[in-house]
């Protein structure tokens, strides 16, 4: 029996990069997987690769009506959703606060903050009622650093980690666990969009140069598999005592779990 037999997972931003890797890993472990993104063509291609256990659902995760429609479709076609991976993200806008377009900055927060809040708001009641469920927000190391000219991204990722911590405190004793992670680094389309953005080239020259060098490095895609494995571990139930925390790929979950158990006596 595979680890996720009988489970239904919803993965946003599932058309490429980390979202696709996570969705494919879930399917390999027996889950039915709903693939969400605005790009119908991309998630359709992923669904074709995965096979009948996958359902492509075009969705704007910042729009409540679109989210509600997607959840209704998935629940009808695949069953009750008990795993959520909120992975959709945007890199910009880039530049100092007094130069960036405030509307673009706020639109980025709709993706970083409004989307996971909407998804959790809609999906957690069912998980609580069934007494089981897992949610993972794909955050970033930007959540714990000050990066000039990257305020939209850093602020959004900090907020994601706080949403996860708040949700975990509110979910205590329900059987539902939530986590935030840094997915690692691969040269995804998001990285390409950053590298090619004129404002990033102006204000984040060091980052752009690192991206250029990383694009063709050997092993540049290794973190796709590592991220998928990390998310699978977190939704397995083994680490539910760590609910509410943010983890990076090099963090030792078994050590953290042992420390938590020791602290509880």
Nearest alpha-carbon partner for 193 in 182, 181, 204: 204
CA distances in angstroms from 212 to 29, 41, 140, 202, 218, listed in the order given: 35, 27, 20, 15, 13
Mean pLDDT confidence for 48-64: 97
What value does the mean pLDDT of the chain take? 93
Confidence of residue 233 (pLDDT cuts 50, 70, 90): very high
Residue-level pLDDT at 259: 97
The torsion defined by the Cα of 118, 123, 129 and 134, in degrees rounded to 10, comes to -110
Task: Give residue-wise pLDDT tens across range 123-132.
Answer: 999 999 999 9
Rounded Cα distance, 262 and 166, in Å: 23
Residue-level pLDDT at 158: 97
Rounded Cα distance, 237 and 216, in Å: 36
The domain over range 8-185+221-260 is classified in CATH as 3.40.50.720: yes
Confidence of residue 196 (pLDDT cuts 50, 70, 90): confident
Residue-level pLDDT at 195: 75
Nearest alpha-carbon partner for 191 in 162, 158, 213: 213
Residue-level pLDDT at 219: 66
Task: Give residue-wise pLDDT tens across range 148-157.
Answer: 999 999 999 9
| All residues at 6 or more sequence positions from 168 whose CB lies less than 8 Å from its CB, including other chains | 177, 178, 243, 244, 245
Count Cα neighbours of 265 within 13 Å in the Cβ-side half-sphere: 0
Total residue count of the chain as it appears in this document: 265
Mean pLDDT confidence for 44-69: 97
Residue-level pLDDT at 220: 63
Residue-level pLDDT at 216: 72
pLDDT at 218 over 80: no
Rounded Cα distance, 239 and 52, in Å: 30
DSSP code at position 169: H
Spot the catalytic one: 153, 239, 246, 247.
153
Burial code of 222-247, b = ≥16 C-beta within 10 A, e = fewer? ebbeebbebbbbbbeeebbebbbbbb
Q: Is 246 a catalytic residue?
A: no
CA distances in angstroms from 197 to 99, 146, 221, listed in the order given: 15, 20, 22
Residue-level pLDDT at 1: 64
Burial code of 78-97, b = ≥16 C-beta within 10 A, e = fewer? beebbbbbbbbbbbbbbbee
Confidence of residue 180 (pLDDT cuts 50, 70, 90): very high
pLDDT at 73 over 90: yes
């Amino acid at each position: 029996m595979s680890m996720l037999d009988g489970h239904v997972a919803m993965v946003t931003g599932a058309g490429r990069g980390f979202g696709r890797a996570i969705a494919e890993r879930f399917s390999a472990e027996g889950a039915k997987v709903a693939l969400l993104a605005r790009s119908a063509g991309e998630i359709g291609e992923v669904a074709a690769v995965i096979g009948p256990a996958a359902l492509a659902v075009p969705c704007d995760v910042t729009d409540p009506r679109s989210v509600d429609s997607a959840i209704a479709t998935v629940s009808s076609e695949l069953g009750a959703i008990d795993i959520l991976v909120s992975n959709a993200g945007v890199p910009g806008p880039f530049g100092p606060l007094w130069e960036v377009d405030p509307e673009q900055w706020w639109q980025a927060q709709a993706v970083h903050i409004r989307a996971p809040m909407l998804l959790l708001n809609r999906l957690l009641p069912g998980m609580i009622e069934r007494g089981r469920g897992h949610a993972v927000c794909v955050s970033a190391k930007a959540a714990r650093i000050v990066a000039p000219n990257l305020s939209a991204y850093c602020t959004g990722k900090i907020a994601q980690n706080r949403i996860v911590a708040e949700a975990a405190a509110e979910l205590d004793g329900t059987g539902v666990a939530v986590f935030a992670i840094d997915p690692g680094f691969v040269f995804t389309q998001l990285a390409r969009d950053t590298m090619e953005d004129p404002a990033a080239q102006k204000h984040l020259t060091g980052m752009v140069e690192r991206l250029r060098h990383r694009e063709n490095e050997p092993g540049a895609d290794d973190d796709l598999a590592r991220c998928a494995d990390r998310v699978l571990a977190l939704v397995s139930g083994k680490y539910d005592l760590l609910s509410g925390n943010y983890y990076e790929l090099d963090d030792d979950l078994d050590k953290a779990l042992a420390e938590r158990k020791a602290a509880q006596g």
